[in-house]
Amino acid sequence: MSSILIENIRELAGIDYQTRILLSGKEMTDFETLHNAYVYIKEGKIEAFGKMDRDVIYKIRQQNPDVLIMDASGRLVFPAFCDAHTHLVYPASREIEYIDKIKGLSYEEIARRGGGILNSAARMQMASEDELFSSASVRIEEIMSMGTGAVEIKSGYGLTTDSELKMLRVIKRLKENHPVRIKATFLGAHAVPQQYKGRQSEYVDLIINEMIPMVVAEDLADYIDVFCDKGFFTVEDTDRILNAGMKYGLRPKIHANELARSGGIQVGVKYNALSVDHLEFTEDEEIEVLRGSETMPVVLPGAAFFLNMPYAPARKMIDEGLPLAMASDFNPGSSPSGNMQLILSMASILYRLTPEEGLAATTINGAYAMGLSEELGSIAVGKTANLCVTRPIPGLAYLPYYYGTNKVDKLILDGEICVEH
């Protein structure tokens, strides 16, 4: 395994000297940076970092004559993005619905007509594992080229036992074939399939009695999710599913409060969810429930932007002292982009996060929401060397500011250069 010494870094961002697993409230804007810095990577880990110092650099080079020297003059180096919420395995794009949306139909109206998730589910029946694997691989390469080093991927376009298992097997294959770190989430409760219309609780029974046991038997999922929202699954459905998941050792990550104050945050916290995601409809009561819990609130700016929906009170949550993550929600219906640099821009422009807060939300706190933050998400000695090196840019603030283009020049994962533009 090679070692790399990155020298003359204009700005090294996302530093955590205490190797914490998440940052809350004010800690987020205190996510530190260093100017004129170095990072030394050895055996896939961050071995050392600090201000450029001639003696230290000389010593490292002496001790390790084979070290690859990378000059990062004028460049920003930061932890690779940790995207804690995506649906990036899907059979086909849905730009037709997008036109309906532009003409004024709501997300719920499209769903009621058999569009939306059910449209993807119908196509999923016909897609082969090979087709799904190859189209998702293209998306993974695309997000890596923009700096993502860890990603969570959900099932939920299957909605039959066979198709859900098919999706999860594809995710397993992606894990085995890509250097990016992947976590798999079982989302059988994404929508009620057509054939169960009016018999929602029977579909919940199917999830509990058939899908969960089979998913666990094949060890296909790290987490379990439910779309707990108006017009989708109720708090009672969610409670039953999470209870069953818990018995099989599956920790929840919940879709909550995207379309209404659904009670999803409360039921998620009740089951010690790793995260509750979306949160557009969040008020003081939900903020109090989150306070003191181990559940990460995850906001998905791409979905609110794309659907023209209200924005979650992210600024307020941080001001109230909560931690906060932001993820892409990469999916064909409500957020057809996995570009975390764009999420960072939205974090500042739409939600008023500082560049440091945005970086914390898309790196260390995202890593927490995937159960990976002991290893990933910040510049800390001993953590896995998953880093982005940008093209020459003035500094961290330029990353969200100069929106819409790719500023990442190199992606280093497990100490190896995986992307080089």
Closest approach of Fe ion to the CB of residue 156, in Å: 8
Cβ distance to ligand NIG smaller for residue 89 or 412: 89
User: How many whole angstroms separate alpha carbon 189 and alpha carbon 227?
Assistant: 6
| Token pair in block for residue 312 | 């979650």
Other Cβ atoms closer than 10 A to 230: 14
Task: Please say whether the beta carbons of 103 and 137 come within 8 A.
Answer: no
Residue 352 buriedness (CB in 10 A; 0-12 / 13-18 / 19+): middle
Query: Cβ 256 to ligand NIG, closest distance in Å?
Result: 10
Q: Which residue minimizes CB distance to ligand NIG? A: 333
Under rule CB under 6 A, residue 255 binds ligand NIG = yes
Under the criterion CB under 6 A, does residue 153 sit at the interface with ligand NIG? no
CB of residue 187 to Fe ion, shortest distance in Å: 8
Site membership for ligand NIG, residue 120 (CB under 6 A): yes
User: Of 179 and 231, which has the nearer Cβ to Fe ion?
Assistant: 231
As a whole number of angstroms, the distance between CA 68 and CA 70 comes to: 6
Distance, in Å, from the CA atom of 401 to the CA atom of 89, rounded to the nearest integer, reads 30
Would you tell me how many other CB atoms lie within 10 Å of the CB of residue 234?
A: 19
| Nearest Cα residue to 298 out of 274, 277, 328, 316 | 277
Which of 292, 264, 267, 290 is CA-nearest to residue 278?
264
Please report how close the Cβ of residue 190 comes to Fe ion at its closest, in angstroms.
8
Select the residue interacting with ligand NIG from 13, 117, 168, 342 (CB under 6 A).
Answer: 117
Q: How many whole angstroms separate alpha carbon 296 and alpha carbon 28?
A: 14
Is 386 within 8 Å of 101 (Cβ atoms)?
no
362 lines the binding site for ligand NIG (CB under 6 A): no
Which among 11-19, 114-122, 174-182, 263-271 is the span making contact with ligand NIG, rule CB under 6 A? 114-122
23 or 168: whose CB is closer to Fe ion? 168
- Window 286 to 345, contacts with ligand NIG (CB under 6 A): 303, 329, 331-334
258 binds ligand NIG per the rule CB under 6 A: yes
The structure tokens 């094949």 sit at 218
Given Fe ion, ligand NIG, none, residue 227, with its beta carbon under 5 to 8 Å by kind, binds: ligand NIG
Nearest approach, Cβ of 327 to Fe ion (angstroms)? 9
Nearer to ligand NIG, 111 or 419 (CB): 111
Q: Output DSSP code: residue 323.
A: B
Chain residues that interact with ligand NIG, rule: CB under 6 A:
87, 116-117, 120, 227, 255, 258, 303, 329, 331-334
